[in-house]
Structure 1
Amino acid sequence: MSDPERAMLLSVHPRFATAILAGTKTVEVRRQRVAAPPGTPVLLYATAPTMAIVGMARIASVQVATPREVWSASRASAGISRREYDEYMSGATRASGLSLEEPITFEAPVTLAALRASASFHPPQSYRYLTSQDLREMAAVTSEAGAALRGALKDLAPA
């Protein structure tokens, strides 16, 4: 995808979303290669029971390497135990460590119900890229939550 206005929608467990937004978890690990340049906005979708976009951050850098190398570089910032990491990475040959910066917590989370009311929204299992058109559709949510999303993404999804 060559759209310079793209963002990433990242599904994370609520405890990880909370830690990212608090700044105590600055690296998110994934089992697959992630190709996103520094500065890419990341919308944080907190999975059940929250089921809402709760905030955003920006990618500072991405490390793609073996699971062992990613753990070695990110263990102090990943917000998970070695046991959890090893269970998650079991069988993976490559891993990605997304260094995140500039977390912003949305005052009013953008709920799954609100997103589905404005478009045919389906949260990703892991992550997916969003184009500027996707962002415009998501920001069309008519509520305080939609206003928060529009404000956060105004440079990416102009009206």
Structure 2
Amino acid sequence: MTDQAPPVDEMQYERLAHEALRGVMRAALERVLAEGLPGAHHFYITFVTRAAGVVVPPDILAKYPQEMTVVLQHQYEDLRVEEARFSVKLRFGGLPKNLVIPYAAITRFYDPSVQFMLQFEEPPVVEPVEEPPVPPADTPAPDGPKVVSLDQFRKK
């Protein structure tokens, strides 16, 4: 038995492959931007909502705090395709909402018309969630209901 360490991938081929595949998504979106969606093509794009660089309205983020899937098919507007991200306006409950999605935040890209899917196993960098500070337990909540401990009334 030898104690040789496994080889180290200093080329980072996995990362290079993921970057190349994200380029396929970008190229598809660029084609849609230039020509519209051809034929029956449409995209289901799943992304991490709290990944670095993602911009979604607060109400959408509250509904989808970790991950969401958007569909680019019939009703989308203002598609913009950039080197590292794309942005689009979609309707949620009839109201237009702007989304900015970096390619690095995408976990799945699927075109069901031709059964083409890219899935990324590496987790995107997630921005820390800023939680509101919690007051100490003995501090009464301002303008809210008072919490009373029932321990003093329980039989021992």
Structure 1 or 2: more helix by fraction: 1
Larger-Rg structure: 2
The higher-RCO structure (CA 8 Å, 6+ apart) is: 1
Instruction: Verify same fold: TM over 0.5.
Output: no
Q: TM-score, normalised by structure 1?
A: 0.23
